[in-house]
């Protein structure tokens, strides 16, 4: 009987040690981004910032909520027409980390809502055009977490725009840091 109890306790201890997490479960990412729009006609580039809390389900998988705000814009070469678009996004995200070292490459995706506001001003007939709306979108992502410093690429795809509206899809180059979530 003693051998059976010892064996069961040893198996439980071994299992607990093998499934224990090395990293803290909760972290919050903060950072800045440079946005490169996929439609090169009216929009040339922009900047923004993000806030992203994460909950680590285990050492390799994290779920989160990405909140991101960016402004993209551009002007024609004569400066006669100016286009500016403000974007806010609220996505549920998932990430897979490929290692448990201090250098942690990752891949993931997000799904959620994008809020758009656009203003276009042209000097030809002094017209100002303002459009707003909320659309569904998704964002595949790759990057690397270097201890608490985060670098990433993310392509934001916004669906459901009218045909007469330029695409607001954009590539985001991100740099930021994670608060919390380090090794225990």
Q: Which pLDDT does position 76 carry in this prediction?
A: 73
Which CATH number applies to 23-180: 3.40.309.10, 1.10.1660.10, 1.10.1040.10, 2.40.160.20?
2.40.160.20
Sketch the domain layout of the chain as residue ranges.
23-180
Cα(175)–Cα(98) distance, integer angstroms: 19
Yes or no: say if 90 and 67 are a contact pair by the CB < 8 Å rule. Answer: yes
Average pLDDT, the chain: 83
Q: Which pLDDT does position 126 carry in this prediction?
A: 60
pLDDT tens-digit readout, 171-181: 999 999 999 87
The two tokens of residue 38 are 């996929």
Prediction pTM value: 0.78
Low-confidence ranges of the chain (pLDDT < 70): 1-2, 4-6, 8-21, 40-42, 77-79, 123-130, 162-167, 182-184
To the nearest 10°, the Cα dihedral for 77, 32, 71, 46?
10
Apex CA 50: angle with CA 65 and CA 63, to 5°? 20
Cα(93)–Cα(61) distance, integer angstroms: 11
Q: Which pLDDT does position 44 carry in this prediction?
A: 81
Q: Which pLDDT does position 113 carry in this prediction?
A: 96
Yes or no: say if 61 and 84 are a contact pair by the CB < 8 Å rule. Answer: no
Q: Which pLDDT does position 56 carry in this prediction?
A: 92
Q: Which pLDDT does position 55 carry in this prediction?
A: 94
Q: Which pLDDT does position 163 carry in this prediction?
A: 56
pLDDT tens-digit readout, 37-79: 887 666 788 999 999 999 999 989 999 999 999 998 877 766 6
């Amino acid at each position: 009987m003693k051998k059976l109890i010892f064996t069961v306790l040893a198996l439980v201890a071994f299992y607990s040690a093998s499934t224990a997490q090395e990293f803290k479960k909760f972290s919050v990412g903060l950072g800045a981004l440079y946005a490169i729009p996929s439609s090169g006609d009216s929009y040339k580039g922009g900047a923004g910032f993000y806030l992203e809390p994460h909950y680590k389900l285990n050492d390799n998988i994290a779920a989160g909520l990405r909140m991101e705000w960016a402004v993209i814009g551009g002007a024609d070469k004569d400066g006669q027409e100016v286009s500016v678009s403000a974007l806010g996004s609220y996505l549920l995200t998932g990430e897979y980390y490929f290692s448990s070292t201090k250098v942690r490459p990752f891949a993931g995706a997000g799904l959620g809502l994008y809020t758009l506001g656009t203003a276009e001003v042209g000097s030809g007939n002094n017209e100002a055009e303002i459009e707003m709306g909320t659309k569904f979108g998704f964002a595949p992502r790759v990057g690397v977490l270097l201890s608490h410093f985060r670098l990433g690429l993310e392509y934001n795809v916004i669906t459901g725009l009218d045909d007469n509206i330029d695409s607001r899809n954009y590539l985001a180059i991100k740099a930021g840091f994670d608060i919390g979530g380090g090794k225990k």
